[in-house]
Amino acid sequence: MAGTKEKPKAKTAPKPTAAKSAAKKPRRVLPKNVKKLVTHRSTRPLWAKIRRTAKKKGVAPETLLKKKPKFVIKKIGGEKNGSKRKVLVKKGRKWYPTEDPPKKRRTGQKTFRSHKRTLKEGLVPGSVLIILAGRHRGKRVVFLKQLASGLLLVTGPFKINACPLRRMHQQFVIVTSTRLDISGVKVPDTVDDKYFKVKKDRSPKGKKGDGGDIFDTKAEAYKPDEQRKKDQIDVDKQIIAVIRKNKEKKLLLAYLGSYFQLRNRTFPHKLKF
């Protein structure tokens, strides 16, 4: 049609002739150890480095991949020397450190202080827990707060089931649906992880040898100090006052004073706590 221009046809590349294809260089076949270096991603830079050093030395790069012998056989004169001896090419270390050097901590590695301490589902201050391990196992206690170490601060109260203020790991407790409103209960600020550290008696002890009692081998029993007794009485009064304000106070007092037990045909996975 008039006024329309024909589009120029795309130029096709000329087909290679038989003479040109025959003139191509033969494909180089590399040794097995070189193939591994070339094909593997992490070792490609190593192969490039070997090629550069080989170019400087004016040798083929494959020659640098050959393993150097550990021993060299040397001739020794004499009748009783065996005439040959193996000699190490590279001498070993004669000095070794007595202690391992301290490892540098990786950047960004979190310390124990900065760890996140989460609580079990449904575990809130005032929840009634069942202890599963320790000398107070089977008892029901009241959860007060979580300490800086991540452990739980619990109490019986002591007047009800003889369980004092103590720390528990949340792996060894069962969280029940029973809860008390302890928003008005004030736990002393001194009750922390250091508060539960056992104070050892540093006073000088008598001799067990000459002039001493050789049968004095009894370990001293733990005795709570006056401050701990005072804190226990103060916290117990507040929690018992909260229980007495509850409508089901008799049932709660009996519940906290009883042990958790499994009887015949009682399946834990079917229980609702």
Each residue of 75-101: pLDDT tens digit? 888 777 778 888 888 777 778 888 888
Each residue of 63-76: pLDDT tens digit? 777 677 888 888 88
Q: Are 130 and 176 in contact (CB under 8 A)?
A: yes
The position carrying tokens 């004095």 is 216
35: amino acid identity, one letter: K
User: Residue 213's pLDDT is what?
Assistant: 61
Each residue of 105-160: pLDDT tens digit? 777 777 778 888 899 988 999 999 999 999 999 999 999 999 999 999 999 899 99
| Domains of the chain with CATH codes | 29-90 (no CATH), 127-200+223-270 (2.30.30)
Q: Are 23 and 17 in contact (CB under 8 A)?
A: no
Q: Are 93 and 84 in contact (CB under 8 A)?
A: no
Q: What is the C-alpha separation between 244 and 203, in angstroms, rounded?
A: 45
Percent of the chain with pLDDT over 90: 39
User: Residue 191's pLDDT is what?
Assistant: 92
The position carrying tokens 């792996």 is 171
pTM above 0.75, yes or no: no
Token pair for 28: 């180089």
Dihedrals phi, psi of 229, to nearest 5 degrees: -65, -40
Q: Going by C-beta distance under 8 Å and a sequence separation of 6 or more, which residues neighbour residue 200? A: none
Q: What is the C-alpha separation between 193 and 190, in angstroms, rounded?
A: 9
Q: Going by C-beta distance under 8 Å and a sequence separation of 6 or more, which residues neighbour residue 249? A: 243
Q: Are 235 and 165 in contact (CB under 8 A)?
A: yes
User: Residue 21's pLDDT is what?
Assistant: 53
